[in-house]
Amino acid sequence: MKKLFTLFIFLFLIAEISSAQATSGTGLISYRLTNAGSLTLATGSPYVHANREVGRMSIIVAQSSKAVFDYNEDQNSTTFLSQLVTVAGVDSAVEVLTDNSYTFLPPKIKVRIRVMSWKNQKYVIAKYTIIADTINLGSMYHAVIGLPRVGGVYGGETVKYNSAKKIAYYYRDGDAIPSYWGVKALNPQIFGLRTLDWDEYSLDPNNDVATDSLRELMTKYSSFDASLVAGSNGSIFSVNTGKSAYTKSGDSTVLYFAIGYGTSEADLYTSIDSATAKYPKIAASVQRDEIIKPIGFSLEQNFPNPFNPSTQIKFSVGASSFVSVKVFDALGREVRTLVNQQLETGAYVTTLSAENLSSGMYYYTLQTGSFTETKKMLLMK
């Protein structure tokens, strides 16, 4: 439950904004993304909220024990509401830009959430872009929180972690219709997994009532809880992806997660494996920032740098042009083509995944018909 405010009119306005949502699906599973960044999933299409089996997935960014950006208190959208968007190579996608305008509590960040799906698949890929909204935020931990709801019911589920496949998943023994749901961090790899019984996590069996200090401890957790059988009120788990440093306003980190479904453990693994295979094609795509308005052509320094296992490259296109962004090794050999297409005026970001690349110095070049710029970056594995 969201934190209550003393001013009735403010609460009313926020409630009106937060109620907005967009839904989509693959035909085999369906999902909903709200203005507050809550992602819920169910089997079948169209989406029916009462049937959801992922009770909620949401992002957590922890700056300190007293400053945590989380769904319960902070997240809302005021500039880019939850809506269907078009993404090249994706059958259907929903996106929202959340910020801390609900409470204005630190850390001052915003998170762009994009959920992508493909027809007749039992998985979606969720992309979270964490963006600093001020300077000198320092190093912050990040994770996604999952609330199991097997068969549309909280409680009694088993939550496990497969260390070989790096998948956190859950199911309930004895269900007449088996249902397995899993989450895998695609970028960066999982840093830790914290699993708690709901009664250990929340002060209220019906609401998400927990302290920032507990959420920070979950997000910083670097071990891997092996197994938990939940009590009658269910469970909660965090898939932790380490931390990133934010110095300038606009510094950002991109996190990708695969969420999959199966009627057996093996079927679930097949779904997640399919999402993992899809990921490199999605990560290499270029995304336009609808907020930043460029005044010319430019290429920014990649972030983070040095990097592992991925880094973002931002650039601006001052006029409609055919644009290429290519990566070269220290010997000048081309190793990646990240962008090679016609782009309209705008600010863009693309992501380089270091998969199959060795440690060392690399160069990346932005080239249009009238502009060329090259910068160097360091991969440290």
> Consecutive 10-residue runs of the chain (381 residues): their mean pLDDT?
31 44 95 96 95 97 96 86 87 93 91 95 95 93 97 97 97 95 91 97 90 96 96 97 89 91 98 93 74 83 89 91 92 88 86 85 94 96 84
Q: Which one of 283, 300, 332 terminates a domain? A: 283
Q: What is the pLDDT of residue 88?
A: 74
Which three-class secondary structure state does DSSP give residue 190? Answer: coil
Are 338 and 358 within one domain?
yes
Are 271 and 296 within one domain?
no
Q: What is the pLDDT of residue 340?
A: 81
Are 190 and 126 within one domain?
yes
Q: Which one of 252, 283, 314 terminates a domain? A: 283
Are 190 and 325 within one domain?
no
Are 291 and 279 within one domain?
no
Are 276 and 315 within one domain?
no
Are 178 and 101 within one domain?
yes
Q: Is residue 3 part of a domain?
A: no
Query: How far apart are the C-alpha atoms of 278 and 259, rounded to whole Å?
Result: 12
Are 337 and 239 within one domain?
no
Residue 33 domain boundaries: 8-283
Picking from 287, 301, 316, 324, the residue whose alpha carbon sits closest to that of residue 378 is 301
Are 238 and 295 within one domain?
no
Question: What is 329-353 written as a DSSP string?
Answer: ETTS-EEEEEEEEEE-SEEEEEEEE
Instruction: Please tell me the total count of domains within the chain.
Output: 2
Do the beta carbons of residue 56 and residue 238 sit within 8 Å?
no
Are 163 and 298 within one domain?
no
Q: Is residue 368 part of a domain?
A: yes
Q: Which one of 264, 283, 302 terminates a domain? A: 283
Q: Is residue 246 part of a domain?
A: yes
Q: Is residue 155 part of a domain?
A: yes
Q: What is the pLDDT of residue 12?
A: 35
pLDDT tens-digit readout, 303-361: 999 998 888 899 999 988 889 999 999 999 998 888 888 888 888 889 888 877 899 99
- Mean pLDDT across the chain: 89
Q: What is the pLDDT of residue 15?
A: 40
Q: Which domain CATH number covers 342?
A: 2.60.40.3080
Query: How far apart are the C-alpha atoms of 230 and 148, rounded to whole Å?
Result: 10
Are 276 and 185 within one domain?
yes
Are 227 and 319 within one domain?
no
Q: Which domain CATH number covers 171?
A: 2.70.98.10
Q: Is residue 2 part of a domain?
A: no
Q: What is the pLDDT of residue 260?
A: 98
Q: Is residue 220 part of a domain?
A: yes
107 HSE (CA, 13 A, CB side) = 30
Q: What is the pLDDT of residue 14?
A: 41
Query: How far apart are the C-alpha atoms of 310 and 350, rounded to whole Å?
Result: 11
